[in-house]
Amino acid sequence: MILSTTIQFPNLHINIEHLPKSFSVFGFDIAFYGCIIALGMLAGIAIVCYEAKRTGQDYNQYIDFALYAIVFSVIGARAYYVIFRWSYYSAHPTEIINIREGGLAIYGGVIVAILTCFIYTKIKKMSFPKVCDTAILGLILGQIIGRWGNFFNREAFGGVARDKNPWAMRIYFDENYDISQVPDVVKNGMEALRGKALSEIGYIQVQPTFLYESLWNLFVLVLMLIFRRKKKFDGEVILWYLIGYGIGRAVIEGMRTDQLIMPVTGWPVSQTLSIVVATVAVIVVIVKRRKIAKAE
């Protein structure tokens, strides 16, 4: 699907007429998606270094850790996405390493980041739970910023938004758009909403789920910053993240039209994983706090 550079939030009176997906430097195209992801990484490292200094840790060790975690997490995020879209990538193997158009699944990055953290802390003889509590602030801040890469790519949106929805986002087509690339649920929903063919409408009006997730993660980060001094044990902050992010992602994922689907079951991968992870994290927090309360 070829989209124009026009995006509107009609109920917010926001109209962006010239929003390209990339810019050119010396004839080389640089995707805004990559720039946003890089900005999120730098912001994440900054807040982690701040938290490390605040808690009396050596922030240089976290900078070293970030160099490994970022590289491996991007690989993990891409691998996760490719695995659950294998029907496409098996037929287009050269596209596997092309992330300029998106295609990073955050859960793949989180899983690999935690694994990298475990190995790094074992080698450096650091406390794995404590490092997780510190580093997770950088991860969620990176997610908050990184989601806006989806905005520039016109991806990670949900189903059709009603006209009264204050967050309704319109993405306009280029004159050469390919309607067949529009998800059926969006195509059918738009035609039902407007009472005419999508080719006559000229745009899709959808739920900006990337925005929902970014705002939800900001809310979770604020709570983590406020209550991190009240944690009862090392490792509790990352459990709060898994609970908060898991709940939000489970809800928001249900709105999206580009879900990764588990084979056989047909369940949305990220939604299922979010529910499981959040549930397990809640149980762990309750059990750990009860043990601490009894010991006191």
The DSSP-derived string for 194-214 is HSS-HHHH-EEEE--HHHHHH
Q: What's this model's pTM, rounded to 2 decimal places?
A: 0.88
Percent pLDDT > 90 in the chain is: 64
Give per-residue pLDDT as tens, 49-68.
Answer: 999 999 999 999 999 999 99
**What is the pLDDT confidence band of residue 164, given thresholds at 50, 70 and 90?**
very high
d(CA 66, CA 47): 12
154: left (phi over 0), alpha (psi -120 to 50) or beta: left
**What is the pLDDT confidence band of residue 281, given thresholds at 50, 70 and 90?**
very high
Please give the average per-residue pLDDT across 16-45, as a whole number. 88
Please give the average per-residue pLDDT across 121-143, as a whole number. 96
**Other CB atoms closer than 10 Å to residue 160's CB: what's the count?**
23
Residue 113 has pLDDT above 80, yes or no: yes
- Which amino acid is located at 25 in the chain? V
Give per-residue pLDDT as tens, 66-102.
Answer: 999 999 999 998 998 888 888 888 888 888 887 766 6
200: exposed, middle or buried (Cβ count in 10 Å: 0-12, 13-18, 19+): exposed
Residue 153 has pLDDT above 60, yes or no: yes
Which pLDDT score is estimated for 2?
Answer: 47
What radius of gyration, in Å, describes the C-alpha atoms of the chain?
21
pLDDT, greater one: 116 or 183:
116
d(CA 184, CA 36): 29
pLDDT, greater one: 264 or 241:
241
Which pLDDT score is estimated for 103?
Answer: 77
- Is 147 annotated as ligand-binding? yes
**What is the pLDDT confidence band of residue 241, given thresholds at 50, 70 and 90?**
very high
Which pLDDT score is estimated for 9?
Answer: 96
What integer best gives the mean pLDDT of the chain?
Answer: 90
Which pLDDT score is estimated for 230?
Answer: 92
